[in-house]
A and B are shown apart, each in its own frame.
Chain A
């Protein structure tokens, strides 16, 4: 089943005289349970694409359907609720809430849905990501890699349908990177979860079921 379908999406930024074509006609379908890696050089438009897929940004042109729903037709709040339940997002710069402890950051999206977090599951993730000790710490007391792991834990905690991760291991050493990826893969298989990650790491890209290559806002390779 095709869980996500992007059709000819474009994102143009107009800065003064020049137009930056961050995305220039991308069509992409992702099957349920798939593990996709997006690669490409810096500035090629990977993050922009991921934001579009997660409904965080609106394309200049083109449509995105998730679970057969056109997300451009959703209201802001519908989209937010949809995101909360279906999508786990890991940002390139983490975007943790500075005034909440690590644990609170992780369970916040669940609580926002008015649900009690599945503590056992959350602790399992926290443990796998090596954050047990840091549960009560505040984000600005953590290293870059630790913050990244918190962001990852947060994205997984809601058991979303799709995880969209922007370089989730960019700040981790290679061993930890592989561990984390292993976790993502296990989780994705166990819960039949769709995962899309952006990475510069070839080894990680190879773990994915499919690799999509982007250059200058266009898909230039991959299946």
Chain B
């Protein structure tokens, strides 16, 4: 056989064919561009986003470590530093509590000393901002932004002097800590020099001091609840077994514990599964997008190619023609898509951040773009080749006559329908396979959008703060334990609730009460208390003294009565709290006990609690209806506290004092309202604030970055979903140009055709939306629950979904008309006689 050189003629035919189908090829290239773009940008931005989220999580923890050993001995620290499994082990010791700054009360400002390892390897990466350095000299101090706010320093400068009164925490000291510090006994005045300050996202009032200062306090790392060893493991995905091993090597004594996050590995696995699922969906939707466009395009060619076969072209040559087009389209599409993707994720997003004035620290997170682009390119090529392999085979295999007769979807008789009424349905399902592919790619992109949206919403700082904070602003009476002074008076309460923007105020009253020994109610609890690491001493002797009513011991077992209103009751009960009879509680017939250790409802509920108020001898009793967590800030003695209604509280306590007032705003994180309240309380020195807004402001820079990245991913996916649809509509109209002309020739007006097109579009949109939402909402729910580390409640993001739906339906009625107008111009005959396209 003579091998004729016909390669060039095949190439020429292919080239001509490509040019004559230029519009269709543009559409195909566009699909390839979008898919490559999607992969590069979504994965690139997605990874940066994920890194930001993980960093925020560390910053919300305030320190980056895996497990914690309480009260470590020197020997244990030494062991830890040598242990194979351990990467870093840093010591942290709480050594003093500041109770006054410039002679004004300061609440909960705790001073810590941490060693170099802890500071450098575990602390630094958890700080969002840092100015200055860790204290070196004995009189140096470093403060958190929350601490600075608390002591009223608005513009801190390194080197500024701060006069503080602190209480050194030498010796054993626990639970009743605030009581000890409230008296001035043992307190020391000192002028500190601010060596630095920092912001993390813990919202805790904390200060760091030098080793020299730490030595002066007399606190030791082995002091109960004060010293901890923060341990970063080499493999942060640890199992129970690893912990057991470490515990064994430490030889821990009975009061020590290793605290661990036991489901960290579970959480990791869940997250990985979810991310892989999302990634798979993104890849699938991309590949379906290409496949769909290619399939439509090449099927359209088959008739023409069949004709070529009748004039003597071989199957192999036909396949070459098909692949030639595919390769050209890839050569255009992939580089363009990759560059646009790179540009958007590497240049546009940082630019947007710059415009929004976001610090760019660490925004260059994801750096492996070359690899990502390679993967995206390979993926697109494989999809393209796969997508035309079937049509190519079809073209190659079918007989020339079949090919000339080939119509998309071939022969399928359609049930009698009412003229143009059924035309839209008929058009959609003319080729079932194609309809399914189009729908699938559309459905998947909507699902991805829904899911990504939920993930973004779930990781929004606002949602996290709203879920983890019970109130917008907590106003704390710093004199609670010292005096019966009405720091937060009823008038003040009224004044604040009258501020516009305030939704409600929830005053919480409290008073210390005496509780006699109550074996029936607390027998099990006391036993457990003395067995726990918080054990106050010798069980037998203490309890017998308590029973006898010995003054010192009895004081140790003081309780506290808390008065709350109906709104606060709703808050503390929540959705998962105990089911109690609200009416009886409000009437003062029942009370709720606060949880401490493992006080079980079985022991307490329906039993009576005996107590006396105002140091009187008169004994009261009240029935316990349930158990909740303590809503207050200050501690009393060892006996669990009791919560009653405000009315009952006022009946029992002569001088009711508000310990804490919780304020909710009409609009969460409302700056104006918060400013007004703080303005109103400016004169009041004896209160301190716990503000969700302050913490949010600390997080704002980070939050903006997260939002830009997250929204970036969301928008890109939304654009893909929409583009996917637009491309499909263009292809669909483009491919039916001739058919439309024929219909027009027999009397179907353009108006009627547009109507059918719109109807078709809406059917597509409706069907795919229904399927997408039916699948997407459960899928996004599963994804949400699997990533739900802050235990937020799931809600469908109605707004963005509605916007997406609106856009989809608008495009359905808009794009077909537009495409139709641009494609179907010229006379009927011209269009009927046009070849290809």
Contact = CB atoms under 8 A, between A and B. Distances in A.
Do A and B pair up? The answer is yes
Contact of A95 (B405, B420, B426, B745): B745
A42 to B, nearest CB: 16
Contact of B827 (A58, A83, A100): A58
A109 interface: yes
A57 interface: yes
Given A51-B829, A99-B409, A111-B419, A56 B745 contact: yes
Contacts of B829: 51, 56-57
A171 interface: no
Given A56-B827, A98-B407, A140-B407, A108 B414 contact: no
Interface stretch (B272-280, B355-363, B502-510, B749-757): B749-757
A99 B746 contact: no
Mostly helix, strand, loop or mixed at chain B's interface? helix
Given A95-B742, A100-B414, A81 B827 contact: no
Given A104-B416, A112-B419, A89 B746 contact: yes
Given A57-B828, A80-B747, A89-B745, A101 B739 contact: no
Given A56-B828, A77-B751, A109 B407 contact: no
B653 to A, nearest CB: 84
Nearest to A91: B745
Interface in B717-763: 739, 742-752
A136 interface: yes
A140 B408 CA distance: 12
A51 B827 CA distance: 10
A51 B832 CA distance: 12
Contacts of B742: 95, 97
B744 A95 contact: no
Contacts of B746: 83-84, 89, 95, 108-109, 112, 154
Contacts of B416: 104
Contacts of B426: 99
Interface in B109-143: none
A112 B830 contact: no
Interface in A54-92: 56-58, 76-77, 80-81, 83-85, 89, 91
Contacts of B413: 101, 136-138
Interface residues of B, number: 31
Contact-residue bracket for chain A: 20 to 34
Contacts of A81: 747, 749
A217 B751 CA distance: 34
A201 to B, nearest CB: 24
Nearest to A110: B419
Given A77-B751, A89-B746, A109-B746, A57 B830 contact: yes
Nearest to A136: B413
A141 B410 CA distance: 10
A2 interface: no
Given A83-B745, A99-B407, A111 B420 contact: yes
Contacts of A203: none
A138 B749 contact: no
Contact of A112 (B414, B427, B752, B832): B752
B430 interface: yes
A38 B281 CA distance: 63
Contacts of B747: 80-81, 83-85, 109, 112-113, 158
A141 B401 CA distance: 12
B416 to A, nearest CB: 7
B399 to A, nearest CB: 14
A108 B419 contact: yes
Nearest to B406: A140
B418 interface: yes
A53 B407 CA distance: 31
A140 B750 contact: no
B411 interface: yes
A40 to B, nearest CB: 18
B409 to A, nearest CB: 7
A112 B421 CA distance: 10
Interface in A6-20: none
A100 B739 CA distance: 12
B413 to A, nearest CB: 6
Nearest to A101: B413
A114 B747 CA distance: 12
Interface in A97-142: 97-101, 104, 107-109, 111-114, 136-138, 140-141
Contacts of B748: 80, 84, 108-109, 112
A145 to B, nearest CB: 16
Contacts of B419: 107-108, 111-112, 114
Contacts of B752: 112
A98 to B, nearest CB: 4
Contacts of B827: 56-58
A141 B830 CA distance: 27
Contacts of B749: 76-77, 80-81, 84, 112
Contact of B411 (A80, A112, A140): A140
Contacts of A89: 745-746
B430 A99 contact: yes
A102 to B, nearest CB: 10
A99 B414 contact: yes
A80 B407 contact: no
Contacts of A158: 747
Nearest to A160: B747
Contacts of B409: 99
A108 B416 CA distance: 11
A211 to B, nearest CB: 24
Nearest to A48: B829
Contacts of B414: 99-101, 104
Contacts of B407: 98-99, 140
B745 A76 contact: no
Given A99-B430, A111-B418, A140-B411, A77 B750 contact: yes
A95 B751 contact: no
A58 B405 CA distance: 31
B739 A138 contact: no
Nearest to B405: A140
A97 B743 contact: yes
Contacts of B745: 56, 83, 89, 91, 95
Interface in B81-116: none
Contacts of B418: 111
Contacts of B751: 77
Interface string B158-182: 0000000000000000000000000
A95 B827 CA distance: 16
A77 B409 CA distance: 30
A97 B739 contact: yes
B825 to A, nearest CB: 10
A81 B751 CA distance: 11
Nearest to A103: B416
Nearest to B752: A112
B375 to A, nearest CB: 41
Interface string B40-71: 00000000000000000000000000000000
Nearest to B824: A76
Q: Counting chain B CB atoms within 10 Å of each CB, which of A85, A99, A114, A141 scores highest?
A: A99
A204 B742 CA distance: 27
A84 B418 CA distance: 17
Contacts of A114: 419
Given A83-B747, A95-B745, A158-B747, 15 more contacts: A80-B744, A89-B746, A95-B746, A95-B832, A97-B739, A97-B743, A101-B413, A108-B748, A109-B747, A109-B748, A112-B419, A112-B752, A138-B413, A140-B407, A141-B411
By Cβ-Cβ distance, the 10 closest A-B pairs, closest first, are A84-B747, A111-B419, A77-B749, A57-B829, A80-B749, A56-B828, A98-B407, A109-B747, A140-B405, A57-B827
11 contacts: A56-B829, A57-B827, A97-B739, A99-B409, A99-B430, A101-B414, A108-B746, A109-B746, A112-B419, A112-B420, A140-B407
Interface of B: 405, 407, 409, 411-414, 416, 418-420, 426-427, 430, 739, 742-752, 827-830, 832
